[in-house]
Structure 1
Amino acid sequence: MKTILLCDSGLGGLDIAARLIEQIRSMGDGAFRLIYFNAWPHPQCGYNQLKNDQERSQVFTAAFEGVARFHPDFCLIACNTLSIVYRKIAAVKPSSFPVIEMVRPASEFFAETMRCRPELRLLILGTDTTIRSGIYTDQLIQAGISAERLASLACPGLATVLEDGFDSPAVRHKIAAAAEQAEAMIPADTPLALALCCTHFGYAETLWKTEFAGRFRQEPQLLNPNASILHQPELQSCLQQAGNPKIKVEFFSRFPMPQTKMQFFAEFFKGIVPELSEALLQAHCDEALFMLPEGIF
């Protein structure tokens, strides 16, 4: 049985987990253990709330030691924020097992779209950590996309409120605020694409279109890169080596996630990927999943 581990901070990566399960179902014979590893470190503090990049690296290094104890055949970092942190960690200490993070496949996806549609401006949307890093702008410029065609906007707190519902007043308020800010940055008649650089953001596709269409003269093109991480040749090779859609799905976290959130997502995925829905309802919670560095929390 091959073990594939998806690492995220929160529940946004469940979208990628669902896509992966559907992909595995279509690939033949074999058996897989799919682990969803929630690397959220503390009930009152996520990675974006830590003081600086050094603290983020220290905490995720500890979390990744927990990942390694599962001895995965493949690891997907299904989170843009953690992908950026992981790049810094891996530059010092590469992983002993294959890892794919979001930045490379997402950047390739965005760049290809911009080449095919030279009239587009791209608004990069993400968490504070993702936008502050400037990594997607840098990657796209390196790929030959003019800096004049790029803009970035942080959406603080949006990922968190999306876990309570995809169409709540809080979500609407934050996406409406992002559209208002974008209107001040980009002319209203500009053909616009939105790069959703947080795995949570795709859950609110309808609101992104509605709120931005109200500020710009045409509905924006949404670029959700969540599927791009699953198209990488290294992962495809791993999946093809062991077919048979026998899939065991498990969810692990240091602490219990709010029951309302787990039930909401379990119900959302129930009719699509029941294995994932069941894993959410039977979540494994253990503070020893990974040990937090001293002096940070």
Structure 2
Amino acid sequence: MKSIAVIDSGSGGLTVANRLFERLPGERIIYVGDHGNCPYGNKSEQEIKEAVFRVIRFLGRFELKMLVVACNTATALMLDELKEMLDFPVIGVIEPGAEMAAGATQNRRIGVIATRRTAESRMYEKTIKEKLPGAAVFEQACPKLVDYLENDETLETEMLAALEEYLAPLRSSEADTLVMGCTHYPLAEKQIRKVWGGRMNLVDPALGTAERVREALQKSGGLSAVNRENHLFFTTGEVDEFSEKVKRWTPVVRPVVLPLEN
């Protein structure tokens, strides 16, 4: 049976995998977290591409029906390149997130929090404006957040202080919609809402991404109806540490977590 691969720079892509578990219970997921190179958002374009290509070569040993690039930075830098090189569908997270934001805003003012590389690419701004001409898009790089969210020892006060710094200019922009432009950020949804303080449409691109995967498989006739539980999780980092995150952050009770040599 063919599987769906989900790749990310670390554990954040589990937020996308969770949506796939919800909407596609018949599919087998193979997840790769490149923790040894996390975060991608603070690396050079060449370093990111080399890291992603290593993961893609590893996935070549599996029979896949689809690749989900659950990393906004990798999506921004190389989604088209991956689509050209692979012989099965590749879906990223930026377009679904942009589509959700364009549909949610009332005042056409949209904020985006992202890694430095994703923010610099301006891909969210470009894609949102394609879907909602005339929209004003305000992107904010949040270089500390991924490290904070990957580190179980991060203090709540540290997280809130960083979010105060990053969200202040977006609140001033009068945006009524905020896109979590990194798959790690939904892990801090409670803190983001607390710091923002008022009404705001908070967009999690994982929702739209999972729906796009479901629609694509349904259209191609590749949707599996058999309940599968033999998901596989790989990491280029510490296996035990990642295994604990999978247990805490996903519904998989006894995950199979294996090392992938970095």
User: What is the TM-score when the length of structure 1 is the normalising length?
Assistant: 0.78
Aligned to 2:113: 125
Q: Aligned ranges for residues 178-193 of structure 1 at < 5 Å?
A: 178-183=166-171, 185-186=172-173, 190=174, 192-193=176-177
Q: CA RMSD in A?
A: 2.5
1:7, 1:36 within 8 Å by CA — same for their partners in 2?
A: yes
| Residue identity opposite 2:2 in structure 1 | K
Aligned to 2:258: 284
Aligned to 1:243: 225
Indicate which of 237, 240, 248 corresponds to 1:267: 248
Aligned to 2:126: 138
Aligned to 1:227: 207
Deviation by residue 1:117-169 (Cα, 9 ceiling, x = unmatched): 2x24211111111101000101122223325x211101112022113359722
2:2, 2:63 within 8 Å by CA — same for their partners in 1?
A: no
Measured after TM superposition, the shift of residue 265 of structure 1 is 4.5
| Distance in 2, Cα, partners of 1:136 & 1:16 | 18
Deviation by residue 1:72-115 (Cα, 9 ceiling, x = unmatched): 11111111112123325337x4311221111222222222223x
Deviation by residue 1:244-283 (Cα, 9 ceiling, x = unmatched): 2132111112232562x642452343xxx1x2x421xx41
- Structure-2 change in CA distance of 1:46 and 1:225 (3 Å): closer
Larger gyration radius, structure 1 or structure 2: 1
Aligned to 2:69: 77
Percent of paired sites with the same residue: 22
Indicate which of 101, 104, 110 corresponds to 1:110: 101
Measured after TM superposition, the shift of residue 46 of structure 1 is 3.4
Aligned to 1:59: 51
Indicate which of 41, 49, 66 corresponds to 1:48: 41
**What runs of 5+ residues in structure 2 fail to find an aligned partner?**
none
1:61, 1:89 within 8 Å by CA — same for their partners in 2?
A: no
**What runs of 5+ residues in structure 1 fail to find an aligned partner?**
26-30, 291-297
Q: Aligned ranges for residues 82-93 of structure 1 at < 5 Å?
A: 82-90=74-82, 93=84
- Structure-2 change in CA distance of 1:167 and 1:235 (3 Å): farther
User: What is the TM-score when the length of structure 2 is the normalising length?
Assistant: 0.87
1:230, 1:236 within 8 Å by CA — same for their partners in 2?
A: no
